[in-house]
Amino acid sequence: MTKRSVSIHVPALTRVEGEGSLRLRIEHGEIQELALDIFEPPRYFEKFLEGRRHHEVLDTVARICGICPIAYQMSAAQAIEQAFGLDPGPWVRDMRRVFYCGEWLQSHALHVHLLAAPDFLGFDSVVGMAARHPEVVRRGLRLQGLGNALIRLLGGRSVHPVGACVGGFFRAPDAAEVDDMLEQLRAALPDAHDLVLWAAALKLPQDEQAFTCVALRHDTDYPFEQGRIVSDDGLSVPIEQYEDHFIEEHRPHSTALFSLLHGAPYLVGPLARLNLNHDRLPAASLSLLRQTGMTFPSNNMFHSLLARTLEIHVAIVEAIRLLENYRRPVSPQVEVTPRAGIGCGATEAPRGLLWHRYELDDQGIVRAARIVPPTSQNQARIEADLRRSLRQFGLNRPDDKLRLRAETVIRNYDPCISCATHFLKIGVTRR
Amino acid sequence: MIRIIGLGSPFGDDRVGWHVIELLQGRLDAQVDLVTLDRPGAAMINWMAGVQRLVIIDALASGQPPGHIARLTAADLDSQTGGTSSHQLDLAQTFELACALDCLPDQVEIYGIEIDTLQSAELSRPVMDAAATLARRLAGSFSTAANEPQAAMDSIGV
């Protein structure tokens, strides 16, 4: 055991979304302080929404995140429709799922290739990785571009899309647009297939640990936009009961809130979703998973990368299934009649469960809003993982190795600090 | 293929890249493709496929007077190495990645228009004038239409 004291401060964590830092103080071989400091300023979106009309909400919440605007729009639409007692019907449900597939595709493809893979292949950045593994990066960019095209099909544009509304969509694509999209999706299946096998062959750190997974679970489908909130320790509740079981608390070092389930940290995101829903995978994705020889549930957090690649495959398979049955409706939206009420929405953003609650008056004006993003929910889990992973990695290792491992652990969660608003840079102090 | 990409956002003078593309609509030869994007990064690389000549128009903050037009090359850009995120792959990193992937077009020209303010919803006067000047010169360079004044792109300041 070392006698030295170590202080590592990573003042600006890279390859994560947004601004945060990590402080680590090791004394006499023990971690005395470990804090994920989130100093990106709070963004007050919930307050901005107060006084806004229901039809302004989707455009507003899309601005919370440039990577996952659809997740924000879908959770909000669901919540407002619930408050108004509105069922937008099966066509809207199916197209929202297709829309969501586009977001998973582009977000997961970006994270796997630009942010995470360089850690596991020994590069500082995707630029260095691209020089040695150009085909891997090209494949990733093709998949990301496909995700953007799918988003444009229903959203009009891929960044902060404008096609969705409360009640459905502003426009239904025509048959030729859908046929063209189907052709692109089918052509991308081999890329998605190869990506999963590539990810399964990566030498990921072996780091088994105990954690609680939380995700939506639907009766029949892999969860995107519907389901009950479930955990692997027995929770199974309708989304309206979220606040009965989950709390958010402030901690002095973070402008993001820390979420706890029954007082303890938990995991949301691709690994949690796959651990809780591997029996809901489409047949082709399940068959591909079996081909890898990997089994889920897994308690190796680094299997998040494999889960992300498998969800890319799921997104393509699911979008093909839904678009093969496409019929252009008479109207892409149902009529919206405001009424006073409270509604909740919960969908699976690429980074995990995204829960919204709105209180609206009889004019459809927002009186109160609450938004719980995935990264806030993962913050306590990330800190718990860091404590355990760094101890297992060896606190006597040199500072730069400790720092890289800490950053790798954090990036594995794909934290979106801007969304959590409420995040990374590392400082290690040793004594 | 020639592609002109305007980078920008809806905020004040940062919109200038988009504005130049708006001004160029219908004024160029058919083989010149016009695109607006909100950021450089991975998605931009997909717009480089099959392109021989790429022109980027972006807002610039270099300490010059508002409206100053700078003509740059990829080598002139200052990359912040190691700081990549999918929100923040900057223009220099995007070119580095494209180069590593062997998909950087043979010719890359970057026009930066010095901006004034991001506080207003509208473009500031000097930036609007500079956008019109740049659009006129690009139209002259990429159009065979007789009514477009031909202008040598080299005449734009650096």
Domain boundaries, chain A: 5-205+325-430
Are A125 and B45 within 8 A, CB to CB? no
Question: Is residue A296 over pLDDT 60?
Answer: yes
Give the CATH number, domain containing residue B60.
Answer: 3.40.50.1450
Q: Write down the mean pLDDT value for chain B.
A: 84
Residue B87 forms contact with A (CB below 8 Å): yes
Residue B132 forms contact with A (CB below 8 Å): no
Q: CA B87 to CA A332: how far, in whole Å? A: 32
How many other C-beta atoms can be found within 10 angstroms of the C-beta atom of residue B74? 20
- E-state strands within A232-332: 236-237, 246-249, 258-261
Check residues A27 and A417 and name the one with the higher pLDDT.
A27
Q: Are A389 and A409 in contact (CB under 8 A)?
A: yes
Confidence of residue B62 (pLDDT cuts 50, 70, 90): confident
Q: What is the pLDDT of residues A90-116, one digit of tens each?
A: 999 999 999 999 999 999 999 999 888
Residue B50 forms contact with A (CB below 8 Å): no
Q: Are A154 and A43 in contact (CB under 8 A)?
A: no
For position B157, what pLDDT does the model report? 40
Are A115 and B85 within 8 A, CB to CB? yes
3-state secondary structure (DSSP) of residue A366: strand
Sorted by sequence, the CB contacts under 8 Å of residue A111 that are 6+ apart come out as: A308, A350, A414, B86
User: Crossing angle for the helix pair A89-110 and A69-84, nearest 10 degrees?
Assistant: 160
For position A11, what pLDDT does the model report? 60
Are A12 and B83 within 8 A, CB to CB? yes
Residue B65 C-alpha, separation from nearest chain A C-alpha, in angstroms: 31
Range of the domain at B11: 2-155
Mean pLDDT of A203-208: 89
Are B86 and A110 within 8 A, CB to CB? yes
Q: CA A422 to CA A14: how far, in whole Å? A: 17
Residue B81 forms contact with A (CB below 8 Å): yes
Lowest mean pLDDT among A93-97, A347-351, A379-383: A379-383
Residue B142 C-alpha, separation from nearest chain A C-alpha, in angstroms: 27
Phi then psi for residue A138, to 5 deg, are -60, -45
Strands B53-60 and B107-114: parallel
Q: CA A196 to CA A216: how far, in whole Å? A: 23
Q: How far is CA A377 from the centre of its chain?
A: 11
Mean pLDDT of A170-180: 98
Are B43 and A144 within 8 A, CB to CB? yes
Mean pLDDT of A301-323: 98
pTM: 0.88
Confidence of residue B156 (pLDDT cuts 50, 70, 90): very low
Which of B7, B84, B86 is the best residue to mutate to test the A interface, defined by the most A CB atoms within 10 Å of its own CB?
A: B86
Mean pLDDT of B16-41: 92
Chain B positions in Cβ-Cβ contact with residue A125 (cut-off 8 Å): 81-82, 84, 93
Question: Is residue A359 over pLDDT 50?
Answer: yes
Residue A114 forms contact with B (CB below 8 Å): yes
Whether the predicted interface score ipTM is above 0.85: no
Burial A267-277 (b: 16+ CB within 10 A, else e): bbbbbbbbbbb
Confidence of residue A420 (pLDDT cuts 50, 70, 90): very low
Question: Is residue A400 over pLDDT 80?
Answer: yes
The CATH number that domain A5-205+325-430 falls under is: 1.10.645.10
For position A290, what pLDDT does the model report? 97
Q: How many domains does chain B have?
A: 1
Are B89 and A142 within 8 A, CB to CB? no
For position A42, what pLDDT does the model report? 58
Q: CA A279 to CA A293: how far, in whole Å? A: 16
Are A67 and B100 within 8 A, CB to CB? no
Percent of chain A whose predicted confidence (pLDDT) is above 70: 90
Any idea of the CA torsion for B55, B57, B60, B64, to the nearest 10 degrees? 80
Question: Is residue B84 over pLDDT 50?
Answer: no
Question: Is residue A73 over pLDDT 90?
Answer: yes
Alpha-helical (H) ranges within A335-430 are: 374-393, 399-411, 417-420
Burial A352-379 (b: 16+ CB within 10 A, else e): bbbbbbbbbeeebbbeebbbbbbbbbbb
